Structure 1
Amino acid sequence: MSRIEEIINEIKKLDNELLAEIQKKEEKFFYKINGKKILFEEEARKYQKEFMMKISTYLSNASFLNIVTVPVIWSCLIPALILDFFASIYQFICFRIYKIPFVKRSKYVVIDRNSLHYLNAIEKINCVYCGYFNGVIAYVQEIAARTEQYWCPIKHARKIITMHSRYHKFLEYGDCLDYQQRLKQLREDFADIDD
């Protein structure tokens, strides 16, 4: 096992520990997750509602520039919807042909903050938008990562800011011998995906 694989395994272990810690918050804040639904205990719902800011107060506290930029922010929804649609169609057609495991959209596009009772209607709508938009970006990145593993599994020579989930499997930049010998194997190496 290479040092890179060891580090990746450590990161996965830490991700699991982080998830366990996050799940402990369910008890602290009195909610349960049932499928895709978040269920708060009655007392927790009442308590949260005490902290909800009225829409009139929310708008009067908002800066003028924040309000003016709302149409710009929301205009990004159209390209996100188009990207979501075409990435899903692409995956549906091409991943079947390439025998790449499908990316489960529901694991990436998570919309649940609208269940928080301390958010007013505007805040809930904004949270739905952010959850959708960022989820679509993560979903498309995973589709692209699996595609890149199939077509061009070579690391970059220059440092990249973020590495996607498949990057650790890629071959070293400039290693032409390994590329020729391992390309077919890498195109089939998706056994670690636990979707």
Structure 2
Amino acid sequence: MDHDRIEELIGELEKTEAALYEELSKGAQKIRCDFAEEKIPLLRYIAEAKIGYVLTAPVIYAMIVPALIMDLFVSLYQAICFPVYGIPKARREEYIVFDRHRLKYLNILQKLNCLYCAYFNGLVAYVREIASRTEQFWCPIRHARRVRNVHRRYWNFLRYGDGKDLRERWHRLREDLKEEEKR
């Protein structure tokens, strides 16, 4: 394993992501108007909805209960355990972002749906970040087989089956994690 090459590739990924965000923000600065034809009135929006959408809405909205419970427990876990481990805390506001409700061309139900999706997807990202920091601290070893959509820390983990200098390299990964807050 060429650790320097992996670091180089991770750096390229981070630069590409930063360039993507920069390019997308340029587009957002150019468009400063509501380009929707018109706001669809709430009653028309509901009346025109497919019956399956209406019937499954309670199932979707019921997921807020386990999401709130997960949010509470993961936040408590991080608040209690991370200081003990010396792991920098993930800042919730960097993951859970509410802003789409300000779009004037959305009706109240569309805004509610946007709030729900922003919360749920942001929560998943927040939980994933906390889990990835925990994994780097306690078990920074890659899996034997390919895993889809791994978190950004994964590529720095130890290769599966490579136990050489395990204690030293594991310690170094823990120190890298603790140093993140200073960067």
Q: What is the TM-score when the length of structure 1 is the normalising length? A: 0.87
SS in 2 for 1:155: coil
> Over residues 40-78 of structure 1, what are the superposed CA-to-partner deviations in whole Å (9 max), with x where a residue is unaligned?
xxxx3xx55752111122112100010000000001000
More strand by share: 1
The answer for the alignment partner of 1:144 in structure 2 is: 131
Which of 132, 135, 146 is 2:122 aligned to? 135
Deviation at 1:83, TM superposition (A): 0.5
Aligned residue identity for 1:104 = R
Corresponding position: 1:63 with 2:61? no
Unaligned runs of 5+ in 1: 31-43
Secondary structure at the counterpart of residue 2 of structure 1 = helix
> How many pairs are equivalent?
180
Q: State the match for 1:100 in structure 2.
A: 87
Given the two structures, how large is their TM-score scaled by the length of structure 2?
Answer: 0.92
**SS of equivalent to 1:177:** coil
**1:150-190 residue CA offsets vs partner (Å, 9 max, x unmatched):** 00000001000011121122111111113222112211212
Which residue of 1 is the match for residue 159 of structure 2? 172
Q: Over aligned residues, Cα RMSD in angstroms?
A: 1.7
Cα distance in 2, alignment partners of residues 24 and 121 from structure 1: 28
Q: Which residue of structure 2 lines up, in the alignment, with residue 20 of structure 1?
A: 22
8 A contact 1:171–1:178 mirrored in 2: no
Query: Following the alignment from structure 2 to structure 1, what is the Cα–Cα distance between the partners of residues 53 and 152?
Result: 35
Higher relative contact order (CA 8 A, sep 6+): 2
Deviations 1:106-157, CA, capped at 9 Å, x for gaps: 0000111101111110000000000000110100000000000000000001
1:4 aligns with 2:3: no
- SS of residue in 1 equivalent to 2:176: coil
Question: Percent of pairs identical after alignment?
Answer: 46
Identify unmatched segments of 5+ residues in structure 2: none
Report SS of the residue matched to 2:83: helix
C-alpha contact 2:42 2:109 (8 A) present in aligned 1: yes
- Checking the alignment, whether the CA contact within 8 Å between 1:48 and 1:117 is kept in structure 2 is no
Aligned to 1:121: 108
Q: Find runs of 4+ consecutive structure 1 residues off by over 3 angstroms.
A: 47-50, 192-195
